[in-house]
Amino acid sequence: MRACLVVLRRLAREQRVRLPLVVLFAGLWGFLLVALFATSDSETQSLSNQPGNFTAAFRLVGLDPLAAWVTLGQAHPLFLLACGLFAIGLGVRAIAGELEAGTLELTLSRPLRRSTYLAAHVLLLAPGALLIALAYAAGTTIADRAFDPPGEALQPLRMLAAALLAAILVLALGGIALLASAFHSERGRALGWAIGSVVAMYALSVLCPLWDPIEPFARLSVFWYFSPGPTIQQGDVLWGDALVLAGIAAGSLSAAFWRFARRDLAA
C-alpha cells in the first residue's frame, strides 16, 4: 500500500498542470455551450440549422433542444480530445513511456509489484476522469441557472448521472491506452496505436449509422454505448449501454494488467 501511494504521489505531481487545465477546460466548455445556446437565435435553439440527420436523431429519442445541445457538447471531438490528453497520455506513459525513458526498471527494482504499479495509475485515472466529467456537468448547470435558456432546466442529479457515464467513457479510453502501452516499449508507437484505435472507433460510431449495410459495425465502437441524452432530459439511464461501456473499461484495464504481468521488459 505504501509503495502504491509513493507512485501515486509521483503521478499526481506529473499531472499537477495537465489535469487541472483539462478540468478547467471541461467546465468552461460546458458553461460557454449553454451560454451560447441561451443567447443564440430561435433557429439555432431549435436545431433547425443543424444537418438533417442530427435533427432527426434528436427528435427520434425525444430530446428537447437544450438537452440535445448539452449532449452534443459531451460527445464533441473537442471535449473528447481534452479527455484524451489526460486519459491517453497517462495510459501511454505508464509502461511504454517509462520504458523508453529508462525509468520503469528502476522503479520496479524497489519492493513494488507490477500490479501495484499499474493500480496507482488507475487510482489517478478514475478520479481524474470523474473530475473532468463533473466539471462539464457543473459548467452547464451553472450557465443554465445564470442565463435561463428556453426549455426544461437542467437537473443537477441528472447531470451527475450523465457525468458518471462520461467518466466511465474516459476510463475506457484510458484503459485502451494502457493496453496499447502494455504491448509496446516505445511511447510513440503506443501512442499511435491508442490514438488510432480511438479515432477509428469514433469514425465507426459516426459514419456507420449513415449506411444501413454497415450500421451494425457501429457497435464495435466504445462511443456507440455512450448515451447521456435520455439521462440529461428524463433521468433515464440506458443500463444496457452503461454496462457495456463499463465492461469495455474493465476489460481493457484487466487485459493491460494481464499483459504487463507477463511481458519481458528487456524485450
The pLDDT tens digits along the chain (267 residues) read: 676 788 888 888 989 999 999 999 999 999 999 999 888 756 555 554 454 444 444 443 456 788 888 998 998 999 999 999 999 999 999 999 999 888 888 788 777 888 899 999 999 999 999 999 999 999 999 999 999 888 788 999 999 999 999 999 999 999 999 999 999 989 999 999 999 999 999 999 988 888 888 888 989 999 999 989 889 988 888 999 999 999 999 999 999 999 999 887 765
Q: What is the DSSP letter of 161?
A: H
CA 191, chain centre distance (Å): 16
Biggest alpha carbon distance in the chain?
Answer: 63
pLDDT digits (tens, 9 = 90+) for 227-240: 898 899 888 889 99
Q: Are 131 and 22 within 8 A, CB to CB? A: no
Give the per-residue pLDDT at 54: 44
d(Cα 159, Cα 171) in Å, to the nearest integer?
A: 18
List the chain domain ranges.
2-262
**Could you tell me the three cell numbers for 240?**
444496457
User: Helix crossing, 156-183 with 239-262: angle to 10°?
Assistant: 30
pLDDT digits (tens, 9 = 90+) for 109-165: 777 888 899 999 999 999 999 999 999 999 999 999 999 888 788 999 999 999 999
Give the per-residue pLDDT at 63: 67
Which of 201, 9, 3, 198 is CA-nearest to residue 91? 198
d(Cα 4, Cα 88) in Å, to the nearest integer?
A: 21
Q: Are 186 and 193 within 8 A, CB to CB? A: no
Q: Are 185 and 260 within 8 A, CB to CB? A: no
Q: How far is CA 189 from CA 97, 180, 183, 192, in A?
A: 10, 9, 10, 5
Q: What is the DSSP letter of 166?
A: H
